[in-house]
Structure formats: C-alpha cells, structure tokens
C-alpha cells in the first residue's frame, strides 16, 4: 500500500493545505524520481509564535511583519499571529478571488446591495442597475477601496455576499491562512471578521501572481466611463489611497514601492500591506496592523522598510 501511495503510477499525490490533517501539509510527487515530501511552506516565509524584532521597535502599531519573498525569509515579526480586524485589507482577498474566478471583460450589474449606508464607508458611487466591467470594478476596489465595488464583485463571483464569504474562507484555509475568518468582502466592522499580519502576507503573496493586481496597486489615478440602469454614461475617477504611490509620503531610499492596499476603521486603526523591491529588484511584503493614526502608520512603515538590506 505504501509503495502504491508514493509511486502513484508516476502521477504523484497532491493535496491542498488542510489544517485538520498532517498529510496535506505535503505534496508527494513521484514524477521527479524522489520519495521526498515537499513541505507546504517550502516557497513561503514562515514566522514562529515569538517576536522577531531585533533592536527595531515600532511604536504606535500593534502588529507588523516584513517578509523577503525571494529568499523566503522573515526579517521582522511583531504579533504577526494575533487575530485582528483588517479593515479594507480584506479587499486583497476579494481582488484575488475576482482575478482567479472572474473575467476582466465581464459586465457586472450592481444590485441594491451596493447602497451601503454605514457612516464613513468609502463608496465609489455605484447605484442599483449600474453596469461596469470587472476590470473597472477592480480599479474602484483596489485603488479607491470602494465598499460598494466589493459587494458588486462578490455577487458577480458567487451570486451572493454570503456565498462569496464562504469562498473567501475556503481559499484562506487552502493558502494556510488558518487564523483568518471573513464575514464580508470589504472589511467594514463585523463580528467574526479577523485575520493576522502573517495571513495577510500569505493572501497578498498569492495576489501578486496576477499581473493585473500588481498593475492596479501601482496606479496613481484611474478614469473610466460606465453606464447607469438606463444606459446613460457615468464617469468615474479614482485616486490611489496609498500615500507612497501618490507621492504624499516618500519611501526610504533603499526600496522602491510597487504598491499595496490601505485600510482604516475605528476598530482596526490604520493598516497597510505593501509590495516593495530592494535595489536589486527583489520583492518584499510588509504589513502593519492597527497603527494609532495615518501619520504613525507611514512613519513606522518607512522605519520597517529600512530593515530591507
């Protein structure tokens, strides 16, 4: 039985990550002539339960991590496994699933559910009956952090927000983000909606595999036209909410910032996940959760990025 299991007639055995079993943490592949088990995290940065901060102390932030994507090394880790509210960093998973399961040219029709009335909620201005492509909705989602765009995308992918959240949670588990649970596609405060700095690294790292995602996170401004329920044109201009991209905050001289995702709520504080390159072009992912305010967020993120060699 063991010989059959490992040999598999040359086809090998593969399983997605499942936190309930030890077996699925590996991929047994007989096609390469080896009986060696490939660990699930072979190509991922890992971080233990202890903090890894060295002499660097980031004040005014609860959790932070700096991950060397190329060498799979964790350079900084502060409370990276603490379960916390992610605010609009949630939309990284929403964008990932839109790119994985959707088609950029597909037309989305907004339902009445895009009418979000929560005070302070960021809205791209979608109304019931509006028609726009998934590509247009993704720009509103990622750059401007439109919560209404999140709902429209969720319903397009899964038919309902509830079913989309089920998909979000299944995909999170398969990525190894086992300290995460999503209750909505946008990140507005809701019970049982949480993630960790490390899980956000895993999700953002997966989203980076899509060129469209990397393109959008690096754009300063985007203007487009779509139609309302009666076919009349509506214009939309969105500006990136990331101050590094808009030039309102300067990055450290040792890195070039490619882009990222911002998030802010009263519960989550000020949050940011970034993709940066060092001077050789090697990528790094940095995450900060629950900074005291926006100024603290960018000041401490720059301090964190100074740890890049």
Please identify every residue annotated as catalytic. 88, 91, 145
Assess contact for 275 and 284: CB atoms under 8 A.
yes
What would the two tokens of residue 24 be?
């699925």
Question: Of 254, 293, 289, which is closest to residue 88 (Cα–Cα)?
Answer: 289
Q: 255-265 and 233-239: which strand pairing?
A: unpaired
The end-to-end CA distance of the chain, in Å, is 49
Element (H, E) at 172: helix 161-174
List CB contacts of 234: < 8 A, sequence separation 6 or more: 125, 130, 225, 226, 227, 228
User: Where do we find the tokens 């007639």?
Assistant: 9
Q: Cβ-count burial of 135 within 10 angstroms (0-12 exposed, 13-18 middle, 19+ buried)?
A: middle
How many Cα atoms occupy the beta-carbon half-sphere of 140 within 13 Å?
27
Question: Of 96, 105, 166, 172, which is closest to residue 132 (Cα–Cα)?
Answer: 105
What would the two tokens of residue 57 be?
């102390």
Assess contact for 287 and 272: CB atoms under 8 A.
yes
């Amino acid at each position: 039985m063991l010989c059959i299991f490992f040999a598999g007639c040359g086809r090998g055995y593969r399983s997605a990550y499942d936190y309930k079993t030890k077996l699925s943490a590996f991929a047994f592949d007989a096609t390469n002539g080896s009986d060696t088990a490939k660990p699930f995290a072979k190509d991922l940065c890992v971080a233990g339960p202890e903090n890894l901060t060295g002499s660097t102390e980031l004040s005014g932030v609860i959790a932070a991590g700096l991950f060397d994507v190329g060498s799979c090394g964790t350079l900084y880790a502060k409370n990276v496994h603490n379960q916390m509210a992610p605010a609009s960093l949630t939309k990284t998973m929403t964008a990932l699933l839109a790119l994985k399961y959707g088609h950029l040219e597909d037309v989305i029709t907004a339902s009445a559910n895009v009418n979000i009335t929560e005070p302070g909620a960021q809205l791209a201005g979608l109304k019931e009956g509006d028609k726009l492509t998934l590509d247009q909705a993704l720009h509103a989602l990622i750059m401007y952090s439109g919560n209404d765009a999140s709902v429209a995308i969720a319903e397009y992918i899964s038919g309902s927000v509830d079913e989309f959240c089920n998909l979000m949670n299944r995909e999170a588990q398969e990525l190894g983000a086992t300290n995460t649970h999503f209750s909505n596609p946008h990140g507005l405060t809701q019970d049982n909606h949480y993630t960790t700095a490390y899980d956000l690294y895993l999700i953002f790292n997966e989203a980076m595999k899509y060129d469209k995602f990397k393109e959008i996170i690096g754009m300063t401004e985007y203007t487009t036209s779509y139609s309302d329920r009666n076919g009349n044109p509506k214009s939309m201009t969105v500006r990136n909410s990331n101050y590094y991209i808009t030039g309102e905050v300067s990055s450290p001289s040792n890195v070039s910032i490619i882009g990222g995702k911002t998030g802010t709520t009263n519960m989550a504080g000020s949050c940011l996940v970034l993709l940066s390159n060092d001077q050789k072009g090697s990528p790094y992912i940095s995450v900060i959760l629950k900074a005291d305010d926006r100024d603290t967020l960018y000041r401490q993120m720059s301090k964190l990025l100074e740890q890049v060699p």
